[in-house]
Amino acid sequence: MLIAALPKLDDRTRVCIQAGNVNTGAFDPAKEICARAQPAGAWVHVDGAFGLWAAASPRYAHLVEGFSLADSWAIDCHKWLNVPYDSGIAVVRAHGHLQNAMTMSAAYLQASDMREPCHFTPESSRRARGVELWAALRSLGRAGLAEIIERNCRFAKVFGQCLRQAGFEVLNEVVLNNEVVLNQVLISFGGDGDTRRVIAGVQEDGTCWCGGTQWRGRTAMRISVSSWATAQEDVERSLQQS
Ligand SMILES: Cc1ncc(COP(=O)(O)O)c(C=O)c1O
């Protein structure tokens, strides 16, 4: 998000910024955006589906600087934490916001003095997703989580470097010199048709799975390294295939 391109903001505005762009892994300038948005009464929401997990790694924590100023965050646990779908977390700054938005009432729902989870989630009935989340965090610990994040980011850089050396173009953010900042890599294999053919070939081959996307008017392969199980040899085999 470009600060200079922000329109006039007011108290009806919701500014949705990304910690970890879905294509490039890049982080919006949260501190500057909050400094513009919040005095105008605008709400700043962070889509941090995978990117906010960078906070768990001493090497990548600087990327999330300023995001704590936002009014709300959305984080997925089924991405970098690798727990089963559909484990998402909404975090709001001010106590009461979530409850005001989510509270359900009905004659058959008995009020009590206990904290009722259904006042904080969109669902009344749901499975115990929190157990998987707790177990993953408990078994990995901060160091284990940081290891997954740092290994995945290292492999993303390897993909970028090796494919660039092989003559292909890394399309990640131009303002960041097309460098790979997190775990996402965007590659063009020539024209859009060439890239589409490579994506189809990689998916057909099955050594790894990469999807396609559009980035600044061009077709790109989107490499997202986010599995706890991905090892160096998987990266090498995938590079050989592409
Ligand atoms: C940055 C980002 N935001 C949101 C989403 C959507 O998340 P979900 O599939 O959990 O709804 C994704 C999924 O890829 C994502 O990468």
Q: What CA–CA distance (Å, rounded) separates 148 from 131?
A: 20
CA-nearest of 136, 126, 106, 19 to 66 is 19
Distance (angstroms) between ligand 1 centre and the Cα of 224 equals: 12
- Nearest residue (by CA) to ligand 1, atom 4, is 49
Instruction: Verify whether ligand 1 is closer than 6 Å to residue 47 (CB atom).
Output: yes
Instruction: Verify whether ligand 1 is closer than 6 Å to residue 28 (CB atom).
Output: no
Which element (helix H / strand E) includes 185? strand 184-188
Instruction: Verify whether ligand 1 is closer than 6 Å to residue 20 (CB atom).
Output: yes
pLDDT, one tens digit for every residue, the chain (242 residues):
999 999 999 999 999 999 999 999 999 999 999 999 999 999 999 999 999 999 999 999 999 999 999 999 999 999 999 999 999 999 999 889 999 999 988 899 888 899 888 899 988 899 999 999 999 999 999 999 999 999 999 999 999 999 999 999 999 999 899 999 999 999 999 999 999 999 999 999 999 999 999 999 999 999 999 999 999 999 999 998 76
Question: What's the first-to-final CA gap in the chain, in angstroms?
Answer: 32
Phi, psi of 47 (to 5 degrees): -85, 100
Q: What CA–CA distance (Å, rounded) separates 40 from 7?
A: 12
Encode 203-239 in three state secondary structure.
HHHCCCCCEEEEECCEEEEEEECCCCCCCHHHHHHHH
Distance (angstroms) between ligand 1 centre and the Cα of 49 equals: 6
Biggest distance spanned by C-alpha atoms of the chain: 66
- Nearest residue (by CA) to ligand 1, atom 16, is 22
Instruction: Verify whether ligand 1 is closer than 6 Å to residue 160 (CB atom).
Output: no
Phi, psi of 93 (to 5 degrees): -70, -50
Q: What is this structure's pTM?
A: 0.94
Q: What CA–CA distance (Å, rounded) separates 190 from 235?
A: 22
Domains of the chain: 3-131 (3.40.640.10), 142-241 (3.90.1150.170)
Distance (angstroms) between ligand 1 centre and the Cα of 10 equals: 27
Name residue 238's amino acid.
Answer: S
pLDDT digits (tens, 9 = 90+) for 26-74: 999 999 999 999 999 999 999 999 999 999 999 999 999 999 999 999 9
